[in-house]
Amino acid sequence: MLYYAISKACSDLKREKFAMPIYEYECLSCRRPFQRLVMKKEEERDLRCPKCGGEEVKRLISRVHHHSSEQDRLASYDPKGAREDAFFKDSRNIGLGAKKRAQQMGVDLGQGFEEKLEKLRTDPGSVIRDSDE
C-alpha cells in the first residue's frame, strides 16, 4: 500500500513537472549522510539516522544538476582542462574529444561516426561484445 501511495504521488508530481522531494541529510551523531523522500515538512521531524538511529539530523545542500545539449557541451569542452570523476562517469561525454578536434580541423565525421557513437553512449559494453565477433 505504501509503495502504491508513493508511486501515485511520484506520477502526480511528474505529470505536473515537479522535481522529486528527495533530500540529503547528515546525522549529527555519527556524521553519516543519507537521503530520504519527504513529501511533507512535518515528516522531517520523524527522521532517524539509518545507521545509528540518531534523531538529530541536518539537511544538506545538495549538488544541483542541469541538462545541457551536446552543442553546449562541445562548445564548452576544453581538451586540456582538468576533469572531475563525474565527467568520466557521464556516457554523453564519450567521443566529445574526437568531435571537438574534428570541429577544430573542419572535418565532418559523417553519419556513420554519429551512429557508432550513439551506440557506444547507450551501450558501452557493445564495443567489447562486437569485437569478439
pLDDT tens digits, 31-63: 999 988 888 888 888 899 999 999 999 999 877
Phi, psi of 97 (to 5 degrees): -65, -45
> What pTM, to 2 d.p., does this model score?
0.44
Instruction: Find residue 27's DSSP bridge partners.
Output: 57
45-49, 58-62, 64-68, 82-86: least confidently modelled range? 64-68
DSSP codes of every residue in 64-88: P-----HHHHHHH--TTS---HHHH
Instruction: Find the angle CA(6)-CA(8)-CA(9) to the nearest 5 degrees.
Output: 65
- At 51 the pLDDT is 93
Which whole number is the average pLDDT over 87-96? 86
The domain ranges of the chain are 2-59, 70-121
- At 106 the pLDDT is 94
